[in-house]
Amino acid sequence: MQFTILIPARLASTRLPNKPLAEIGGVPMVVRVAQRVAASPGRLHAPRVIVAADSALIVRACEAHGVEALLTRTDHESGSDRLAQACALLGLADDAVVVNVQGDEPLIDPLLVDAVASLLLQHPLASMGTAAHAVETLEDYLNPNVVKVALDAQGYALYFSRSPIPAGRDFQGQAWWHADIAGGNALLREAAPLRHIGIYAYRAGFLRLFPTLARAPLEVAEALEQLRAMWHGHRIAVHVSDRNPGPGVDTPQDLERVRKLFGA
């Protein structure tokens, strides 16, 4: 399938200033991300990979390493707003598939990107696609910084939340895997909690529509932008990965850990 990967990048970061330009093995992080997602074996069509930047410094750094980049406004409130402008600048057709990969994910699996892009072909009723994997620890299940998602039978998202979901009536305060699964309760296995992975696929037409939608009360309460789409009746298909995609880079400590992995 053919699709476009857009990587939003902005210099402002409270925990790690100038994060897109932080070097990993002598290469800016956002360039590392672009190079990684472009290199997936077995693709029939290589995706177009473009960094949507808020600074000419990022654009120049990308171009110096052969990565396509375009300059967007500095006043966007969210990454999706930046992507919507990028779609307009690129003149993408309404049915074109766009995958949003964060610029601080130098370890992301290219195959996960492909799987999320494929969701919109498999689910024609979906306006968006995203990914999840099994929650692995009780700490993550209870952590409000770990977003959870519950799915319906067709693989569409029912809800995203920072709260522990699903929360079993008879297992309050405990993770589902602490229940008596060995006792034959198939429902517990089937409703095991899922951790949301922050990668999205969109149809370009929906991306242009999204910034015009009114913010939703649930979106404000949970601080989760994807709930705006669901509030307005749009469906989100979810790919369940069999492995944890690994952490992104949010802090100087994260950056040092990734640098070691790259031998830098």
In the chain, the amino acid numbered 49 is V
Q: What is the pLDDT of residues 164-198, one digit of tens each?
A: 888 866 665 555 555 554 444 544 556 678 999 99
Percent of the chain with pLDDT over 70: 88
Hey, is 193 helix, strand or coil?
A: coil
Residue pLDDT, tens place only, 149-162: 999 999 999 999 99
Rounded to two decimals, what is the model's pTM?
Answer: 0.87
Phi, psi of 59 (to 5 degrees): -60, -45
Residue linked to tokens 């939003």: 8
> When comparing pLDDT for 142 and 264, which is higher?
142
For residue 115, the SS3 value is helix
| Residue 201 contacts residue 161 (beta carbons within 8 Å) | no
Give the dihedral sign, CA 38/249/150/221. negative
Rounded CA separation 185/79 (Å): 41
Indicate whether 17 belongs to any domain.
Answer: yes
Its domain, for residue 56, covers 4-132+195-261
Residue 119: how many CB atoms within 10 A of its CB? 23
Whether 19 maps to a domain, the answer reads: yes
Q: How far is CA 253 from the centre of its chain?
A: 21
Q: What span, in angstroms and rounded, lies between the C-alpha atoms of 117 and 88?
A: 20
Please provide the size of the chain in residues.
Answer: 264
d(C-alpha 49, C-alpha 69), whole Å: 8
Residue 157 lies in a domain: no
Nearest CA-CA partner of 150 in 188, 195, 185, 118: 195
CB 235 within 8 A of CB 129: no
Provide the pLDDT confidence category of residue 141 given band limits of 50, 70 and 90: confident
What does the mean pLDDT of the chain come to?
A: 87
The answer to whether 135 and 141 have CB atoms below 8 angstroms apart is: yes
Cα angle 106, 109, 113; round to 5: 105
| CATH number of domain containing 231 | 3.90.550.10
Tokens of 196: 């949301």
- Choose among 27, 16, 15, 17: nearest CA to 262: 27
Position 94 scores a pLDDT of: 93
Number of domains in the chain: 1
Residue 23, domain member (yes or no): yes
